[in-house]
Homo-oligomer: A and B are copies of this chain.
Amino acid sequence: MQRVSLKFLAKELGIAEGTVSRALNDYPDISEATRERVKEVAKKFNYKANQNARRLATGVAEAVAYLMPPNTHAISEPFVSQLLEGLGSSLAKRGWDLLVVQASSPETEAETVEKLSSSGKVSGVVISRPYKEDRRIELLKKYNVPFIVHGRSVNSEDYAWYDVDGEKAFHDGVGILAELGHQNIAFIGAPTDYNFGQMRLDGYRRGLASNNLTLDEAIIKIVDMSDDAGAAATAKMLGLPHPPTAILCATDTQAFGALAAIREAGLTPGIEVSVLGYDGLDFGKHTNPPLTTMAQPQSHSGEEICDMLLAIIDGGNPVDYQELRSAILVRRMSVGPVRPQ
């Protein structure tokens, strides 16, 4: 099976290799006649340029990488899937590739980033869920790779990012609960080395203050983002002498666990204890009871992020690409007014 290369086409057409290349790439110095002739023959032989040669010659990769969050099972989280989907389809429209790369361990992360930037494999990268201080971001800046962050680190002035305002969401979340009469509002948070974890906690705190509620460390639990962790934290708080009547959760998954723990304690979520989640997972409508949550408007985040990244690759100034979205409340059944004790 003869591999059809430029050389092959050139021979077939009786013209020079370079001419074929220029014809295929619509250079202006090729006559209409030969351009068409070339393209026809190319189609006939089903010519597909070797991407590696092309990339080597042009120096542009026409590919972007998504750097998976370092923690395990991260890809199973819906937000990753949605992001990938959007990125993938946007990229595909332009004929670019999407690389999904995982650092095998936190130690090799730097190595991975370096390799990504130095090996010419990609023209840009996107990462998610930065830590407050994130090494990946530093490396990306250092190696001068166009990148965009899904989320923000603490110092986010000088790079491009796309984020949902979790601080505001949790501030407002407390307000929603307070308005329903809740005074004893617990918080189940995510690890605060993640900046989003910190911001949601900050929002919660500010929300408390805005509503003249006192902060009680006993009903603030920073735990893993899993249902089991959410359940354990909830169980513990329910055993308090003065248990919370509402629980604000940093993630829906934790909220699922909270629901379970409340039922386990013989109480009814949404009636005796309200639960407000965050993420807007579709699945929340099937829990018992359906979960009220603050949804990230991330249906098109992948596309937006892709557009932003491409703009930066094309020479745009990263600082011009910082998008902050707001979460929106999805009312279901897990939040209700406080009941008289």
Contacts and interface: CB of A to CB of B under 8 A. Distances in A.
Interface of A: 1, 4, 46, 48-53, 55-56, 61, 68, 73-76, 78, 80-82, 84-85, 88-89, 92-93, 97-104, 114-115, 118-121, 144, 227, 256, 259-260, 283, 285-289
A207 to B, nearest CB: 26
Nearest to A115: B48
Given A78-B76, A85-B76, A286-B256, A46 B118 contact: yes
A196 B74 CA distance: 27
Given A52-B61, A55-B52, A103 B99 contact: no
Nearest to A91: B102
Given A75-B88, A97-B101, A119 B283 contact: no
Nearest to A49: B119
Most buried by B among A49, A73, A82, A283: A283
Contacts of A102: 85, 88-89, 92
A260 B290 CA distance: 11
A98 B99 contact: yes
A189 B196 CA distance: 40
A104 B81 contact: no
Given A76-B85, A119-B50, A286-B259, A98 B101 contact: yes
A6 to B, nearest CB: 13
